[in-house]
Amino acid sequence: MKELFDLTGKIALVTGGTHGIGLAIGIILAKAGARVCVNDINEEKLLSCREAFKKEGCDVYTSTFDVTDEKDVERGISQIENEVGQIDILVNNAGIIKRIPILEMKVSDYKQVIDVDLVAPFIVSKRVVPGMIEKKGGKIINMCSMMSVYGRNTVSAYASAKGGLKLLTQNMTCEWAKYNIQINGIGPGYIVTAQTGPIRENGHPFNDLVMTRTPAGRWGQPEDVANAALFLASKASDFVNGHILYVDGGILANFGYVKGENDLS
Ligand code: NAP
Ligand code: GCO
């Protein structure tokens, strides 16, 4: 059974993986035996990431590049290939959000979100996939969102990008599944990370919404998402293609559930 989830000998790259969901994914992949490379745009955050891996008794290779900059991606990934080896598992995790109503949002802000959340997975995957084809297999995990299927006021750019990423995942599958590369997405629900910090405070209406509308009755933890990533990075998912795995405590499954008032018949 353990063999199904054993990643010994595999090389994984997690973009934007110094904290939050990406860090939890990097650590679980390392614990499963992979050699993990973590990328971030910010060199200082890579220092704290190295400490976090060390605390878990795991090694990590760190790499600074901006996932939206094709030349920088080329430099960073060439360096990983020379110093670590060709990538078997790519987690397109880096992402940003801007919560601004459409009428107040500058086009430059909209484009920046699309660049990081949608164009970057295109750039990084395009650079990594020829190596996977050479190796005769690979895994790509695109970090989607519940906003891949739903809108919400103020998150137009984010929802456009994550909706696009869901379909990019499907299109990558159409082109690359034949090379034994499985491309899937994860759609986290509301997870306790820096990204949700501003909407998670006690008393914030959004916190109340998440707590009452999520059938599981809690916010998700980065580890909840990392467990799903281990499945999608492992042999256990070798015939899972172009799927978005929602890890959301049931919030998408639910229309109108309110804690304590769910017997509405
Ligand atoms: P987070 O804590 O804000 O982490 C995002 C990471 O992406 C950070 O390490 C950030 O680096 C990095 N990043 C941003 N721009 C980058 C760039 N141009 N190049 C390289 N790295 C870059 O977010 P998170 O909550 O862990 O989310 C991880 C992923 O899951 C994101 O794609 C997010 O949209 C998605 N997601 C999150 C939730 C949630 O509830 N938290 C739900 C659904 C989906 P810096 O810290 O240096 O800026
Ligand atoms: C928001 C949240 C979300 C989550 C997540 C939902 O403002 O609605 O930040 O966008 O981060 O992506 O799946």
- pLDDT (tens, 9 = 90+) of the chain, 265 residues, equals 889 999 999 999 999 999 999 999 999 999 999 999 999 999 999 999 999 999 999 999 999 999 999 999 999 999 999 999 999 999 999 999 999 999 999 999 999 999 999 999 999 999 999 999 999 999 999 999 999 999 999 999 999 999 999 999 999 999 999 999 999 999 999 999 999 999 898 788 889 889 888 999 999 999 999 999 999 999 999 999 999 999 999 999 987 656 566 555 5
Can you tell me the distance from the alpha carbon of 67 to that of 64, in angstroms, rounded to the nearest whole number? 9
Q: In whole angstroms, what is the distance from residue 139 CA to residue 13 CA? A: 11
94 by Cβ neighbours in 10 Å (0-12 / 13-18 / 19+) ranks as buried
Q: How far apart are CA 217 and CA 228, in angstroms?
A: 19
Mutation choice for ligand 2 from 117, 158, 199, CB with most ligand atoms inside 8 A: 158
Q: How many helices (H) and strands (E) does the chain have?
A: 9, 7
**Which residues sit with their C-beta closer than 6 Å to ligand 1?**
15-16, 18-22, 39-42, 45, 66-68, 93-96, 116, 143, 145, 188, 190-191, 193-196
pTM for the full predicted model:
0.97
Ligand closest to 48 (CA) is: 1
As beta bridge partners, residue 37 has 13, 61
> From start to end of 30-149, where are the E strands?
35-40, 61-64, 89-92, 138-143
Q: Which of 21, 147, 154, 252 maximizes ligand 2 atoms within 8 Å of its Cβ, making it the mutation to test the pocket? A: 147
- Identify the CATH homologous superfamily for domain 2-250: NAD(P)-binding Rossmann-like Domain (3.40.50.720)
Which among 81, 97, 190 is positioned nearest to 129, based on CA atoms?
Answer: 81
Asked if residue 200 has its Cβ within 6 Å of ligand 2, the reply is: no
Beta-strand pair 89-92/244-247: unpaired
User: Quick one: pLDDT at residue 2?
Assistant: 87
Q: Give distance in angstroms: CA of 147 to centre of ligand 2.
A: 7
- DSSP designation for 77: H
Q: How far is the CA of 16 from the centre of ligand 1 (A)?
A: 6
Q: Are 144 and 162 in contact (CB under 8 A)?
A: yes
Query: Which pLDDT does position 4 carry in this prediction?
Result: 96
CA of 206, nearest ligand number: 2
With a 6 Å cutoff on the Cβ, whether 99 touches ligand 2 is: yes
148 Cβ inside 6 Å of ligand 2: no
Q: H-helix or E-strand containing 247?
A: strand 244-247
Residue matched to tokens 């010994």: 8
Q: Which pLDDT does position 260 carry in this prediction?
A: 61
Cα(171)–Cα(176) distance, integer angstroms: 9
Query: What pLDDT is attached to residue 263?
Result: 52
C-alpha of residue 81 to centroid of ligand 2, in Å: 33
Tell me the CA–centroid distance for residue 39 and ligand 1, in Å: 11
What is the identity of the amino acid at 156?
A: S
C-alpha to C-alpha distance for 248 and 65, rounded to whole angstroms: 30
Determine the pLDDT at residue 261: 60
Provide the annotated active-site residues. Answer: 158
Closest ligand 1 atom number to CA of residue 21? 26
Phi, psi torsion values for 246, nearest 5 degrees:
-85, 130
Give the atom of ligand 1 at the shortest distance from the alpha carbon of 188: 43
Closest CA to 165 of 186, 151, 144: 144
Reference 113, options 126, 99, 123; nearest CA is 99
